[in-house]
């Protein structure tokens, strides 16, 4: 057994804790129960503290990771567990993502007590979601609906829906499944109808880049196919300089040695959407995603994202 416990940094939400427990369970399964000792350290991030406005108005991506990354840099923790869709595409110097768990369901979930899906919502119905991507896609799909913001963790959003703040809400299937709440899903939205956020459904582990001991420990649970699709989607996002203030969607799907990549950028009001698709060999996927981003930038014009 190691001399000191492996310190896992996480946010304190039920979903974040479930993801941290999954990391611990996978490490125990890979290395043998009792081989590693663990200590879970909980951090309240800026994103957790800001509850009075949408995160897109408070600075976007990085609000759920900053305090964890500071703890890594200060060596207060050994690894930080993140939902990869919350991660900025550029990490602080000296830190790296060295492990991606097997990716969960990438799709969005439609949740309502009044309708079975988007097609069943009456004109003027209220759809609540904190995600600018989901807001823009709903407006693009159904401009007759009212779209409003909705903050809080998964349980809070479900409770607010019960209280009648909206006719429907949208959440990631992955988070609901990890929390054992898949029974709350009214219907699953096809990726043909709503393209997910880049890296949605993926859990990543961040560490100090120079820590070879931790890197060796994590290598045993890294899921390479998931790592490749996440890398591909984040390359697309990075080229677009994507943040929580920009409605961007992207999905890489690996089948054997072939990769299908789809990407989309939208105006927040849903009035304009540009989409593209690539089918390439898996070893060319990252390059293809960057080219897809460049194509969309070329079609949309230089001011599209700046004025989004």
- CA-based radius of gyration for the chain: 19
| Cα 50 from Cα 204, distance rounded (Å) | 23
Contact 9, 72 (CB under 8 A): yes
Cβ count near 200 (within 10 Å) = 27
**Catalytic: 86?**
yes
Instruction: Starting at the earlier edge strand, list the strands of the sheet with 258-266.
Output: 248-255, 258-266, 273-281
Contact 19, 85 (CB under 8 A): no
Measured between its terminal Cα atoms, the distance across the chain in Å is 52
Contact 46, 66 (CB under 8 A): yes
Q: What are phi and psi of 49, to 5 degrees?
A: -75, -30
Structural tokens at position 92: 């602080």
| Cα 32 from Cα 1, distance rounded (Å) | 10
Structural tokens at position 126: 């209220």
Q: Considering 48, 52, 78, 86, which one is annotated as catalytic?
A: 86
| Cα 78 from Cα 80, distance rounded (Å) | 7
Please list the alpha-helical segments (H only) found in the chain. Answer: 14-31, 46-49, 66-73, 132-141, 154-162, 173-178, 212-219, 224-240, 285-300
Q: Which positions are annotated as active-site residues?
A: 86
């Amino acid at each position: 057994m190691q001399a000191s416990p492996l310190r896992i940094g996480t946010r304190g939400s039920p979903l974040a804790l479930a993801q941290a427990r999954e990391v611990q369970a996978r490490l125990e399964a890979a290395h043998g129960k009792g081989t590693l000792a663990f200590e879970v350290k909980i951090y309240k991030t800026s994103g957790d503290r800001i509850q009075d406005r949408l995160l897109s108005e408070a600075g976007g991506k990085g609000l759920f990771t900053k305090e964890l990354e500071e703890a890594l840099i200060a060596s207060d923790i050994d690894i930080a567990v993140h939902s990869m869709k919350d991660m900025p595409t550029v990490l602080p110097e000296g830190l790296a993502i060295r492990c991606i768990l097997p990716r969960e369901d990438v799709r969005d979930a439609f949740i309502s007590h009044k309708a079975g899906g988007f097609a069943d919502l009456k004109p003027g119905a209220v759809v609540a979601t904190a995600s600018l991507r989901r807001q823009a896609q709903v407006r693009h799909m159904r401009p007759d609906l009212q779209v409003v913001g909705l903050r809080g963790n998964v349980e809070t959003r479900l409770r607010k829906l019960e209280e009648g703040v909206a006719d429907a809400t949208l959440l990631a299937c992955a988070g609901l499944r990890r929390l054992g709440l898949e029974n709350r899903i009214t219907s699953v939205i096809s990726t043909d109808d709503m393209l997910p956020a880049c890296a949605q459904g993926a859990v990543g582990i961040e560490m100090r880049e120079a820590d070879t001991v931790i890197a060796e420990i994590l290598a045993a649970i890294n899921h390479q196919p998931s790592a490749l699709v996440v890398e591909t989607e984040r390359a697309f996002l990075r080229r677009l300089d994507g943040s929580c203030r920009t409605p961007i969607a992207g999905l890489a799907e690996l089948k054997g040695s072939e990769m299908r990549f789809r990407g989309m950028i939208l105006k927040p009001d849903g009035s304009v959407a540009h989409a593209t698709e690539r089918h390439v060999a898996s070893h060319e996927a990252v390059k293809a995603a960057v080219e897809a981003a460049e194509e969309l930038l070329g079609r949309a014009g230089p001011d599209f994202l700046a004025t989004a």
